[in-house]
Structure 1
């Protein structure tokens, strides 16, 4: 029988898989199931933070209007799991076919997730997406790859 830590890590990885599939399917109902109601998101787009599930889903809705067929990829997901909180980090890329039919390879970003175990479900309570910044110019560097 696997240790509770292994069971919880597997459940969190399943949640990340649901996130990926929800994005690929532009499925807001599926995405709603992976976030805590009071999620705080420091996403790539303004404002500085999106607070609550409605704000997070509004952000995804905006992203989906840009894409006819989105793709989402997660690489190198590393997790640290406690009894009722966990965190993880990875590289992620949102790409696909834009609404005008143009294909885009997107860009790799750094993603960090904070999870809380709520009613035996691991939900994303916090996420942060970022790109490195070129200090002299003050501009994001969006052409790096993991």
Structure 2
């Protein structure tokens, strides 16, 4: 029989799976269900922070406009689960066909997810996506692989 910790970790992984599925389906309603209304997102595009579910969904709308077909994958996700909060980190990659028909394998980014438990549901209250910085050039290192 699984421990309570294993049950909660499985629930969180189901939420991450919903993000992957929602992005692939370009389904904003599905994505809205995995974030808290007051989510704070430190995404790769400006500004420094995006506050609230509307801002987070606007970021996903931008992605869906940029890509004709889009896929998303998470690799090496590690979770730490408490009673009411949890966090995880791993690597994510958007890929697919751009609006102009060009196929792209995308780039790997570092991803951190912070969850808050509401009832029996784990929702993302904060996320952060970043790329390493090449300090001498001041440019993001977008060609790294996990």
Cross-structure match for 2:126: 126
Give CA-to-partner distance per residue, 1:40-61, whole Å, 9 cap, x none.
0000111100000000001100
Shift of 1:119: 2.1
Cross-structure match for 1:66: 66
Q: Which runs of 5+ in 1 are unaligned?
A: none
Query: Within 1, Cα distance between the matches of 2:98 and 2:26?
Result: 13
Give the aligned CA root-mean-square deviation in angstroms. Answer: 0.6
Query: Within 1, Cα distance between the matches of 2:39 and 2:125?
Result: 4
Give CA-to-partner distance per residue, 1:44-92, whole Å, 9 cap, x none.
1111000000000011001110001001011000000000100000100
Count of paired positions: 146
TM-score (norm 1): 0.98
For the residue of structure 2 that corresponds to 1:10, the secondary structure is helix
Q: Which runs of 5+ in 2 are unaligned?
A: none
Query: Within 2, Cα distance between the matches of 1:145 and 1:124?
Result: 25
Shift of 1:136: 1.0
Query: Within 1, Cα distance between the matches of 2:50 and 2:4?
Result: 32
Runs of 4+ in 1 over 6 A off after TM superposition: none
TM-score (norm 2): 0.98
Shift of 1:137: 1.2
Cross-structure match for 1:98: 98
